[in-house]
Chains A and B, each alone.
Chain A
């Protein structure tokens, strides 16, 4: 799954640590999501979507390899 988390985080001037604290996960998890090595759970995706005031599909999208 692809995502725009890194771009959104930069636009809102959050560090990975800030975002991790707000969402309630570790910094490593934010890093892994940004690098698209790990897909977040639905509750985490909803928290991210709520924070950036965007629908989930505007942040995360599926792309066939």
Chain B
């Protein structure tokens, strides 16, 4: 029962995550390559991506709430570390840009990539700790 529900939650989370990535790609590249900067279509693509993102968050919440106590602890610890590091590293990265210590603009996409990698490392390390 628990395994079935877990599989369903993982599947739903994967579907919403990948569709969010796809709608993000459409909203990013569509204006230039598909609809020639049409403002209405661009606004529509961004709205669809935003709505998709909200559904992804809801699916993630459902997934986390369905985890058992140890898994939830592992995910919460990982989220806490990721959130803390993201704020600290993100602001330091932004400072490097505003003080012109780096020769390029601080891109939000780099920070998103950092979130993902940090979370993945934290989950791996925490899972090993309880083996």
A-to-B contact residues, CB < 8 Å: 21, 24-26, 28-29, 31-32, 37-38, 40-41, 44
Closest to A25 in B: B68
- CA–CA, A32 and B129, complex, Å: 9
- CA–CA, A38 and B73, complex, Å: 10
* CB of A51 to closest CB in B, whole Å: 16
Contact A38 B68 (CB under 8 A): no
Known: A24-B68, A29-B69, A32-B70. A38 touches B130 (CB 8 A): yes
Given known contacts A24-B1, A25-B68, A29-B68, what 11 new A-B pairs fall within 8 Å (CB)? A24-B2, A25-B69, A28-B70, A28-B127, A28-B131, A29-B69, A31-B131, A32-B131, A38-B70, A38-B73, A44-B69
Q: Interface residues of B: mostly helix, strand, loop or mixed? A: helix
What are 11 A-to-B residue pairs whose CB atoms are below 8 Å? A21-B2, A24-B1, A25-B69, A26-B68, A26-B71, A28-B130, A29-B71, A32-B131, A38-B73, A38-B130, A44-B69
